[in-house]
Amino acid sequence: MSDSKQFAARDDATAWCPGCGDFAILEAIKMALAESGLSPSKAVLVSGIGQAGKLPHYMRVNTFNTIHGRTLPTAAGIKLSNPELTVLTVGGDGDGYAEGGNHLLHALRRNLDMTVIVCDNRVFGLTKGQASPTSEKGRVGGITPAGTAYPDFNPLLLGIVMEAALVARGFSGEKEHLADLVAQGINTPGLALIDILQPCVSFNKVNTWQWYRQRVDKLEDHQPEDREKAMELARQWGDNIPLGVIYKSGRTSPTPTENLVTAELNPADVDKLLDQYRVNQT
C-alpha cells in the first residue's frame, strides 16, 4: 500500500460532527490517490458548498472550491485546460444531484476523464437536515413535517442510462473497499460516477451506521459490462444494497480538442469580429 500521508493536510482539525461518514471518505480518497501513484501536484479536487464540500480543505492537493452545484463545469474547464491533471470532484447529494443535477447530465453526456465522488447521506446536512434528492418518499424533515412527497432520485440508474464510463457505489464503513473504487475511477478513461452511502449522525436518524451494515453487500462475480444486470442491481434498495462497480460502458474519454474548432486569426480578422458587437458611438 502506498503512503497516503503525502496527501494529508498539516492541520488535522475539521468542522465535521464526530461520527460523520466524511472522515472515512477523506481517508479513502487519500489512499486511492496514493495507490494510483499520483503526487499531490498532479491531482486537483473540485468541490462546491456543503459538509462534503469541505473535504479538499483537509488534504494536501490542488483544490478549487466553487459555488453550490457548480463543481462539474469548473472541473471540466480545469481538465480541458490541463489534460495532464487528474481531476476529481467531491460534494454531497444536494450539491451533486439537486443544485448540480443539470451539470451532471451534461458531464455524463460528454464523458470527460474525471472522477465524480458524491457523499450521499440522503439529507442536506449543512443546512440542518432538509430532504435531498435521495431522501426517500415520506422522509420527515425540517421543511417536510408531513414527509417529502417525491420518490428518491437514483443516481446509479442515471449513470447507466447515460453510459458513464464507470458507475459504482461505495460505503463509508468499508474504507479499503471504497478506496479501491475511487482508484478504479481514477484509472478509468472517462467519467466515473461513485455514489458513497454515508450516515449523517446529526440529521438522518434512519440510515445509520448500523442500518447500512445490516444491508450492504459487496458484489462478487458480477460482470459490470452487463447493462441489464447493472440496472437491476442499481434498483436494489432495502434489505440488500449492493456495493462495488455496478457498470462499465466501455466509452472512452474524448480527446481534449475533440469537437473544438481551431483556426488562426490575424488581428484584422479579430477586429472585424469585434466590430459586430461594438456600440455605435458616432
Asked if residue 281 is part of any domain, the answer here is no
* Mean pLDDT estimate for the chain: 89
- pTM of this structure: 0.87
Instruction: Output the pLDDT for position 10.
Output: 59
8-43 pLDDT, tens digit each: 775 667 889 999 999 999 999 999 999 999 999 999
| Residue 270 to residue 277: CA distance in whole angstroms | 12
Asked if residue 267 is part of any domain, the answer here is yes
- Flag the least confident range among 40-49, 51-60, 86-95, 243-252: 51-60
Instruction: Find which of 198-202, 233-237, 262-266 is predicted with most confidence, using mean pLDDT.
Output: 233-237
Asked if residue 50 is part of any domain, the answer here is yes
H helix or E strand, kind and range, residue 208: none
Instruction: Output the pLDDT for position 86.
Output: 96
Does 262 score more than 60 pLDDT?
no
Question: Band of the pLDDT at 141, cuts 50, 70, 90?
Answer: confident
Please choose, from the candidates 73, 60, 68, the residue with its C-alpha nearest in 3D space to the C-alpha of residue 97: 68
Instruction: Output the pLDDT for position 77.
Output: 94
- CATH number for the domain spanning 106: value is 3.40.50.970
Instruction: Output the pLDDT for position 114.
Output: 96
H helix or E strand, kind and range, residue 274: helix 267-275
Asked if residue 212 is part of any domain, the answer here is yes
83-137 pLDDT, tens digit each: 999 999 999 998 999 888 899 999 999 999 999 999 999 988 777 778 788 888 8
Asked if residue 282 is part of any domain, the answer here is no
Asked if residue 121 is part of any domain, the answer here is yes
CB count, 10 Å around CB of 178? Answer: 28
Asked if residue 280 is part of any domain, the answer here is no
Number of domains present in the structure of the chain: 1
Range of the domain at 228: 4-275
| Residue 80 to residue 128: CA distance in whole angstroms | 36
Asked if residue 160 is part of any domain, the answer here is yes
Determine the average pLDDT of the residues in 147-165: 94
Amino acid identity at 58: Y
Please choose, from the candidates 100, 114, 85, 205, the residue with its C-alpha nearest in 3D space to the C-alpha of residue 153: 100
183-225 pLDDT, tens digit each: 999 999 999 999 999 999 888 888 899 999 999 999 999 999 9
